[in-house]
C-alpha cells in the first residue's frame, strides 16, 4: 500500500509542455524531507529544476504559499490513502499498514516524516502553515482513534485505557522511533514496531509474534 506521506510518483497530465507548478512541489517536498522547511530556499528549487526564481514566485508568491500548498498536498494524500486502507481485512491490518508508512521513510533514508518536521519547526513556520499542520495532525489522529474503536468492534485490536490516549501514544512512539533510528540504527525502530503491534494483538493471537516489517 502506498505511503500517504511520500510522493506518489504520479503527476498531473502535462499539456503543451512541462507542469512547472507540480515540478516545484515535488522538488520542494524532497528538500523539505531532507532539510526541513527553513533549510531550503527558492534558489535551491530553481537550481534543481533549471528555472528562474521568478517562475517559482509566479506559482507561489511567497514561501508561506508554497508551504501551505505542501501541507495541503500531504493532507489530501493521507485522506486518499485512508480510502485505500479501508479495504484491509481488519482494523489491526489498517493500523499496521499505517505503521508501515514510517518504515517507508526509514528505508528512503528520510529519518523524519512530514508530521515530525512540522512539529519540530512549528514555532518557526508561518501562521497559515501552522494551521494547516494542525489540521493534518488532526486528520491522522482522528483516523487512528476511529480505527482503534473499529478494532474493538471487530475484535482485531485490544488496548487498555481510552482510544484517544492510545492513538497519541502510538503516534509519539512511532515518530520517536523513526528519529531514534537515525542514530541507533534500523533494529531499534523494529523493536518499537514489534512492541506496538504485539500490544494491540488480542489474547486469542497469543504466540503470534505480530506482523513483520515489509521489505
* Residues constituting the chain: 215
**Using CA atoms, how far apart are residues 109 and 33, in angstroms rounded to an integer?**
10
Per-residue pLDDT at 16 exceeds 90: no
Task: Quote the Cα angle for 39-177-26, to 5°.
Answer: 35
CATH level 3 topology of 20-203: Tetracycline Repressor; domain 2 (1.10.357)
Per-residue pLDDT at 210 exceeds 80: no
Closest by CA to 186, choosing from 129, 84, 106, is 106
CB 22 within 8 A of CB 73: no
Predicted confidence (pLDDT) per residue in 93-110, tens digit: 999 999 998 888 777 665
Concatenate the DSSP letters of all residues of 24-69 into one string.
Answer: HHHHHHHHHHHH-GGG--HHHHHHHHT--HHHHHHH-SSHHHHHHH
Closest by CA to 117, choosing from 97, 137, 101, is 137
**Using CA atoms, how far apart are residues 140 and 71, in angstroms rounded to an integer?**
13
Residue spans per domain, the chain? 20-203
131: confidence class by pLDDT, cuts 50, 70, 90: very high
Contacts with 139 (C-beta within 8 Å, 6 or more apart), sequence order: 75, 78, 79
Predicted confidence (pLDDT) per residue in 132-189, tens digit: 999 999 999 999 999 999 999 999 999 999 999 999 999 999 989 988 888 888 889 9
**Using CA atoms, how far apart are residues 108 and 100, in angstroms rounded to an integer?**
12
C-alpha cell at 151: 478494532
37 CB neighbour count, 10 Å cutoff: 24
Q: What is the dihedral of CA 178, 182, 184, 188, to 10 degrees?
A: 20
Amino acid at each position: 500500500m502506498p505511503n500517504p506521506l511520500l510522493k506518489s510518483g504520479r503527476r498531473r497530465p502535462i499539456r503543451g509542455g512541462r507542469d512547472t507548478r507540480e515540478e516545484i512541489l515535488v522538488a520542494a517536498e524532497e528538500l523539505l524531507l531532507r532539510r526541513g522547511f527553513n533549510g531550503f530556499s527558492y534558489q535551491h528549487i530553481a537550481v534543481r529544476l533549471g528555472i528562474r526564481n521568478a517562475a517559482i514566485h509566479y506559482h507561489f508568491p511567497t514561501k508561506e504559499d508554497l508551504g501551505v500548498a505542501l501541507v495541503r498536498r500531504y493532507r489530501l494524500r493521507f485522506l486518499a490513502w485512508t480510502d485505500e486502507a479501508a479495504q484491509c481485512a481488519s482494523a489491526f491490518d489498517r493500523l499496521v499498514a499505517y505503521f508501515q508508512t514510517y518504515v517507508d521513510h526509514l528505508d528512503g533514508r528520510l529519518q523524519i516524516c512530514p508530521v515530525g518536521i512540522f512539529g519540530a519547526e512549528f514555532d518557526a513556520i508561518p501562521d497559515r502553515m501552522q494551521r494547516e499542520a494542525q489540521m493534518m495532525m488532526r486528520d491522522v489522529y482522528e483516523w487512528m482513534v476511529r480505527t482503534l474503536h473499529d478494532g474493538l468492534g471487530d475484535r482485531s485490536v485490544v488496548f487498555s485505557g481510552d482510544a484517544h490516549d492510545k492513538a497519541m501514544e502510538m503516534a509519539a512512539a512511532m515518530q520517536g522511533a523513526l528519529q531514534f533510528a537515525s542514530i541507533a540504527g534500523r533494529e531499534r525502530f523494529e523493536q518499537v514496531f514489534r512492541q506496538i503491534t504485539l500490544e494491540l494483538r488480542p489474547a486469542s493471537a497469543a504466540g503470534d509474534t505480530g506482523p513483520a516489517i515489509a521489505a
